[in-house]
Amino acid sequence: MTTPWRPLRRVETDAQVALLVLAGLVAGLFLVQLTTPVGSGDYGQWLMTSRRFLGEEVPGYRPLNAVPPLVPMLLGAFQRLMPDRLIAVQAFSGLMLAALAVSLYLAGAMLQRSRPAGLLALVLGLLVAVPLLDLFAFGGLLQAGALICGTLGVAPPPPAAATGGRPLWWGITALCLVLAVLAHLATGLMALVSGTAVAVVSTASASGTLQERLRRLAPLGVAWVIALVFWLTTFLPGSGIYAANPASLNYRGPDRLLDDLLGHTPTALVVITGGITIMVGVVVEASRRSFGRWSMTAAWIAGVGVFLAGSLAGSAATDYPRFVTPVLVPLAVAAAGGMAIVVAWLASFVRLPVLPAPLGWSLVAITAVAVVAAPFAANHYREEAAGYRLIDPGSLVAVAEYVDGTVPQGATVLAPVREGKWLEGLTGRASLFNNPVRYSFRADEWQRALAASTLLQSRGAVVNAFFFVKFTDADPCASGTPPTAFTLAMNHGGEYLDALRVATENTRVLGATGETLATVSTLEPGTITLEANEGSIRVRSEWHGERERAAVSFRQAVLVTDNGATLEITSRVETAAPIGGLQLDLRAAAGLAITRIDVRGSEAELSLTMAGRTEPRLRLVVAGDAGTLSAMPDGGLRVASSSNEVRLLVTDLTASARSSTSLRLLCPRTLRDTYGIAAVVLTRDASYDARRARVEALGFVLARSIGPYAVMLRDTAVARQALRGSR
């Protein structure tokens, strides 16, 4: 009797079917990655680190020996085959995604001793749960490389135990774990501990004497020696700061780990299913007094748990979301194993006539899950990647080519953070950009970020551990006109967050009957004076005029002290005319709102829009008996005094216990020369005109407009020659 399904009977083995399905899933993932534009600055950063393996220029300030070499070295080799850097980094990322998919399959298939479990591990890990795909959205290639190697490292021990401990399997395990450490130190060390734990459990289940079992683990001992030597010689001198980031606990703390694991329902289902499966499996194996796949899987996740528990117990200020993917991978493999068992049990009641048993019903389950989950996973990935996209990749490449041909080697380019990282990768020129503290783990990066923020957002600034005062239209370091306003940024959980805008020009001098005698904007600007020493920095400003035939002088001073959590703003008017007091209005900085004002006479506590885990809070106190504070209908705060002086004390209530800087005066011209800035790249957005004016005041001229970007060069002989050539 013939059947229309006869051609399918040529597929005779589980392995053939599994490989066909695996190839289809991997090809689909690679296609999604290849058709989604990469834009995250992290991709540009890895291009930059790969340049040293191509023998090309790299920024001098970058400590490249602190970056594990495996992924940059492979990316550099890949660029020799594909010289277009944008295409190369995207294709390389797609291959890494494909490699991660294969590693999930192999770990599931070998650890669970089931090809369907391997396919389900791939589907659950990359299509149902989302954190692994998110790695490729923001460019986490180093951690992805460590996950690939670490996942491959736990695959050999089960077959090694089953075959009596062939040396080849242990050698493969050791090699994979060493490569994991060389890809991403933190994730690699977790993989090394986890892989060793799995290997120990697997040898406990194998035959042989104790000495024979220890000999099988010898390659892992070599892996530990290599990893420790690498850590001691490369990372130890500067690695302590990785666990002391001032902003991590507020913005990237343990709560983010739970949110990423449980905040997305499909991911939470994988996590919960995997956890329950491991617990049930370990209990069953314990009742049988045996060590099997569930004990090995438990050992795998326990290796990650050791690091996580140590970080939590020590309140380490590290990047906790980085624990998500090492935790998720073994849970996805465990969930896949449990699901494969359930499907196989259900399949025992009904057999499919075409596909080999027991793979048939497993393929039905795999296909059903993949068909439902794949569109959501692809859309989620594209949306995440879009959040990191470049404004115009083609124009940015043209900017890089122009910079490469005009900016001298060793010079620096001031740019937005995302474009700055790409420019470093495409040109090798150092960039100065404002990277948030929470994403930076070196002290010099924090200082560079402050410098970039000062240059692009102000005419000069004063900073200490608690406050970052940016004078938006006056240079406190040079004699000139006084500022009409300044922005008060506060240290909130380790990040400097623009909190309040103080508009000096709107300060009112009241007459004897409460009428407005003068506003600062109607007075003639005087001078700005700087008083700086080791313990404090004071910026004084003056305005002068005449009202009611009497001279009026207004003075304002901003005092910032070393390590002082309280900043002082003093406003004073001197005139022979009768006055009724002073009024100064404070409003939330752009992008924030004052959410709550608790006023108690001359004292108030402000809460602003939540940032990180908590709301930023400031305490404001008007010193003296004549001062009052009151909430305004538009959400601002009015500071008033019935005398001729207002002395306002502002205290930061939500600063991090760790500081990223100390008392410093940030002068734009000094910063320009200190960092050797030869070019500036600006985006044509709402802030373009103001930023261009600030940069022009520092001696830069517009050299080229390329798409949404403007390239400005320092007005030097070299720049003038380049300008003539461009015309």
Q: Which residue has the higher pLDDT, 297 or 479?
A: 297
Does pLDDT of 644 surpass 50? yes
For residue 504, how far is the Cα from the chain centroid?
36
Per DSSP (E only), the strands in 516-616 are 516-519, 524-532, 536-547, 550-561, 566-575, 579-588, 594-600, 603-608
Q: Which residue has the higher pLDDT, 716 or 225?
A: 225
Output the pLDDT for position 343: 84
Output the pLDDT for position 112: 86
For residue 515, how far is the Cα from the chain centroid?
51
Output the pLDDT for position 236: 65
Q: Which residue has the higher pLDDT, 478 or 9?
A: 478
Residues 579-629 have pLDDT tens digits of: 899 999 999 998 899 999 999 989 999 999 999 999 999 999 999 888 899
pTM of the model: 0.90
Q: What is the average per-residue pLDDT within 395-424?
A: 95
Output the pLDDT for position 9: 39
Q: What is the average per-residue pLDDT within 303-330?
A: 89
d(CA 146, CA 169): 19
Does pLDDT of 160 surpass 70? no
Cβ distance 714 to 700 under 8 Å? yes
How sure is the predictor about 1, in pLDDT bands with cuts at 50, 70 and 90?
very low
Residues 238-273 have pLDDT tens digits of: 555 566 788 988 999 899 999 999 999 999 999 999
Q: Please work out, in degrees rounded to the nearest 5, the angle formed at the alpha carbon of residue 598 by the alpha carbons of 595 and 604.
A: 110
User: Tokens at residue 118, please?
Assistant: 């391997």
The pairing of strands 617-622 and 524-532 is unpaired
How sure is the predictor about 183, in pLDDT bands with cuts at 50, 70 and 90?
very high
Does pLDDT of 556 surpass 70? yes
Cβ distance 290 to 267 under 8 Å? no
Q: What is the average per-residue pLDDT within 687-708?
A: 95
Q: Which amino acid is at 75?
A: L
Q: Does the N-terminal peptide bond of residue 525 adopt cis geometry, omega within 30 degrees of 0?
A: no
How sure is the predictor about 2, in pLDDT bands with cuts at 50, 70 and 90?
very low
Which residue's entry shows tokens 């130190």?
Answer: 185
Does pLDDT of 290 surpass 90? no
Output the pLDDT for position 523: 93
User: Tokens at residue 102, please?
Assistant: 């294969």
> Of 291, 668, 627, 620, which Cα lies nearest the Cα of 471?
668
- Neighbouring CB atoms inside 10 A of 645's CB total 17
How sure is the predictor about 78, in pLDDT bands with cuts at 50, 70 and 90?
very high
Q: Which residues, in sequence order, are CB contacts of 462 under 8 Å at separation 6+? A: 468, 469, 476, 537, 539, 558, 560, 663, 664, 665, 666
Residues 490-501 have pLDDT tens digits of: 999 999 999 999
Cβ distance 361 to 347 under 8 Å? yes
Does pLDDT of 667 surpass 80? yes
Output the pLDDT for position 175: 93
**From 2-6, 35-39, 159-163, 673-677, the region with the lowest mean pLDDT:** 2-6
DSSP string covering 401-443, please? Answer: HHHHHHSPTT-EEE--HHHHHHHHHHH--EEE----GGG--SH
d(CA 63, CA 677): 20
> Of 691, 671, 694, 672, which Cα lies nearest the Cα of 682?
691
d(CA 61, CA 26): 39
Does pLDDT of 165 surpass 60? no
Secondary structure letter of residue 483 according to DSSP: P
Q: Which amino acid is at 498?
A: D
The SS3 assignment for 471 reads strand
Torsion-angle region of 238 (φ positive above 0: left; ψ -120 to 50: alpha; else: beta): alpha
Q: What is the average per-residue pLDDT within 368-394?
A: 92
Torsion-angle region of 246 (φ positive above 0: left; ψ -120 to 50: alpha; else: beta): alpha
Q: Which amino acid is at 467?
A: F
Q: What is the average per-residue pLDDT within 555-561?
A: 96
Output the pLDDT for position 63: 76
**From 195-209, 298-312, 492-506, the region with the lowest mean pLDDT:** 195-209
Does pLDDT of 560 surpass 50? yes
Q: Which residue has the higher pLDDT, 438 or 159?
A: 438
**From 37-41, 46-50, 687-691, the region with the lowest mean pLDDT:** 37-41
Output the pLDDT for position 219: 85
d(CA 43, CA 92): 11
> Of 149, 245, 134, which Cα lies nearest the Cα of 189?
149
> Of 505, 157, 92, which Cα lies nearest the Cα of 299?
157
User: Tokens at residue 438, please?
Assistant: 């929470």
Half-sphere exposure of residue 211: CA atoms within 13 angstroms, side-chain side: 0
Output the pLDDT for position 238: 52
User: Tokens at residue 357, please?
Assistant: 């048993």
Cβ distance 183 to 269 under 8 Å? no
**From 30-34, 77-81, 240-244, the region with the lowest mean pLDDT:** 240-244
Average of per-residue pLDDT values in the chain = 88
